[in-house]
Structure 1
């Protein structure tokens, strides 16, 4: 195969811009990025990026700028529904030792600012307001056509356009659609200046299990002036199959009832933790409702000169904080494979899938398991769950099981060590 010279990338999120940067830096392949939104989005809450993703961001040259904008949130603090602390754990003690990186939480808009700045410095063109309507390929290349009657041709095309990927729907695997996970996320970003003094000691991810889901908060800026808080709970799909109108109505109802719901769940929560949450709930004026969808395992990722990456191929529940990291691993493996001489794109994509599927399937199942703590439960079951988790965390810390890498080995994985 003649070495590719140009790529079309659909999607200007982390996956698409990481792909454009890596292909230029390492493979000397130029990319043109097309984004359906009319301008950079201001939507989103905060994103967690563990060790495996941070190491790859460092190799892209982005880590230092991200670190200036992010909070270190490697610690997990679990609070009982009554308010007292029942367990603490360092989520990255072992993986940090192996990789040199911990766990950062950053506002999505701040993360995208870093990516956009890097793309501008690298002179990578990004075209907004481009809705993909067609893909045609032949032996010479692949052509993408957009709804404004413009088109572009390149040696290959990457679909980095998220869980509702147009590349997947139009060309790669039209029959594969996302499925609802059964869990929703209601979240907000809030400035901490008006919160109680306890805000000054906030460290890492602080969580409380309730009878109706998981309630958690963490800082998401380097100076801790902003927190990201969320309520993650099990919720049935709206009547009629969960169309846009059904979800909008259900989301509206959930948001309207949120303060009453949370204050009722926390009525017995006391102390600094209880005071903190009641202040957060009362001071929050804007919340976002987000039903969590995921991709079914086993879908098609490649067709001809086209490959889908990141959430377009293997969107998973966010309960393992691996969305960005999985996309980065995709990008780095593809980049490595493209440097091997003598392989056709078909062969490159085949090896790519062989190497990536076991890893992404494993992480998707982990995220699904982690989501189980969002399910509804009764008061006695919650108490038993708190006791069990407290006991496990105590044994983990007392026996220093972190030294064995238990629960952290996936975070030390290095995709560039894959034999290809």
Structure 2
């Protein structure tokens, strides 16, 4: 490990920041201190998908088994037609689970963060809330973060784990890089299944339907199946002045009723019991979250001096490959390995880190963007053609046992522990 790296400041106490603190404490004997802009742990967000590459690293953190008691582990992607029948299905992580021993997790973001925070508390890791970063200054010996309340702290290393709107990036590392709107927005919510027809309790994996205006999907997000996470993803013109960094929630009866009327229009062509179930899910929704999907352009700077950006702060991508948490975990584990190299300076660490992570991040970034294209508006006849193509492709996939070839899953079996760390 580079000499005198014994304390790290971590800006952001979401999944990336808390995971970084836990792993650097466990594997590098570095003392982490977390600083979070919000006044308390956030409950923002719906459910998070974590495929094999991420769930394996959660296993190495010692948290996978506990997360499994809270998460849904169904890994099938089931495509339903507008007329209500199943076009086909495929296992999204069957091959990668066979290779890694870890499958797919779909978990409420609040549950994931709760498990991480409890582990941090048990490890005695300090977390300070209500801390808005306003300045970063470096010397030869350390880096100092200053906060809006006038307090400051100094360490040997600073990690920006503060998401796509990172203050560390904007304040110090790369102020020129700004998030760009993808053109796609999500509305989503979590609904208790006791309010829904019995068919909702038997759902497994991600169940998706393409409509002319986008993609509607529902999936269990708890081990017991007592909650369903749903989202509708579609093209939306750049949000206006009402946009905030976290989107917004609608709680009021009037707003939610108006939303339901709008969704009725999007789902009007859905037939059969499947269409009835989706409309019932929307009808039972009490709180709606709207989230415009932003991303960071490829090629930005990730480090400066003693500061390094981690996860979405460095390379936020669209969520359509379920890689947000997994990419952050890979970042953290690679950094940890590099910090264990006794002959590397911090400049060496960041240089090798950048060289090894860029190709991997770029690959997943492009996959997520490509997967997002099915959310775009289309005509009725084009949708019918797309359903025929999807049905045929899924039939061939199953009939020819193409899952045995690992198509689309080889990236999920990636192991950051196998990366070459040589300069």
TM-score, normalising length from structure 1? 0.96
Deviation at 1:243, TM superposition (A): 5.9
How far off is 1:287 after superposition? 0.5
- Is the partner of 1:343 in helix, strand or coil? coil
* Structure 2 residue aligned with 1:311: 312
Q: Which moved more, 1:155-164 or 1:251-260?
A: 251-260
> Which residue matches 2:54?
53
Q: 1:132 matched to which residue of 2?
A: 133
Where does residue 227 of structure 1 map in the other structure?
228
2:171 is the alignment partner of 1:170? yes
- Give the match for residue 397 of structure 1: 398
User: Which runs of no fewer than 5 residues in structure 1 stay unpaired?
Assistant: none
Distance 1:191 1:286 in 2: 12
Indicate if the aligned counterparts of 1:155 and 1:305 stay in contact, CA closer than 8 A. yes
Tell me the equivalent position of 1:329. 330
Partners in 2 of 1:248 and 1:55 — Cα distance?
33
State the SS of the aligned residue for 1:193: helix
Match status 1:155 vs 2:156: yes
Alignment of 1:141-152 (within 5 A): 141-152=142-153
Alignment match, 1:368: 369
1:107-256 correspondence to structure 2 within 5 Å: 107-238=108-239, 244=244
Cα–Cα, structure 1 residues 46 and 157, in superposed 2: closer, same or farther, change >3 Å? same
CA offset at residue 286 of structure 1?
A: 1.2
- Residue aligned with 2:390, SS: helix
Structure 2: runs of 5+ lacking an equivalent: none
Report how far residue 255 of structure 1 moved. 6.2
Give 1:4's aligned residue: 5
Provide the C-alpha distance between the structure 1 equivalents of 2:13 and 2:389, rounded to a whole number of angstroms. Answer: 43
Kindly provide the CA deviation profile for residues 54-112 of structure 1, in whole angstroms up to 9, marking residues without a partner as x. Answer: 00000001101110110013011100011111111111111010011111100000000
Distance, in Å, in 2 between the alignment partners of 1:157 and 1:71 is 34
Distance 1:373 1:251 in 2: 29
Partner of 1:63: 64
1:195-216 CA-to-partner distances (Å, cap 9, x unmatched) read 1121132011000000000000
State the number of aligned residues.
418
Q: What are the residue-to-residue correspondences of 1:332-347 with 2, within 5 Å?
A: 332-347=333-348
CA distance in structure 2 between the partners assigned to 1:244 and 1:10 by the alignment: 20
CA deviation profile, 1:373-407 (whole Å, cap 9, x unmatched): 00000000000001101111111111111111111
Asked whether the equivalents of residues 251 and 289 of structure 1 are also in contact (C-alpha less than 8 Å), the reply is: no
State whether residues 134 and 146 of structure 1, in contact with CA within 8 Å, keep that contact through their aligned partners in structure 2.
yes
Query: Contact (CA 8 Å) 2:18, 2:116: kept in 1 or not?
Result: yes
> In the aligned structure 2, how far is the partner of 1:224 from the partner of 1:236?
35
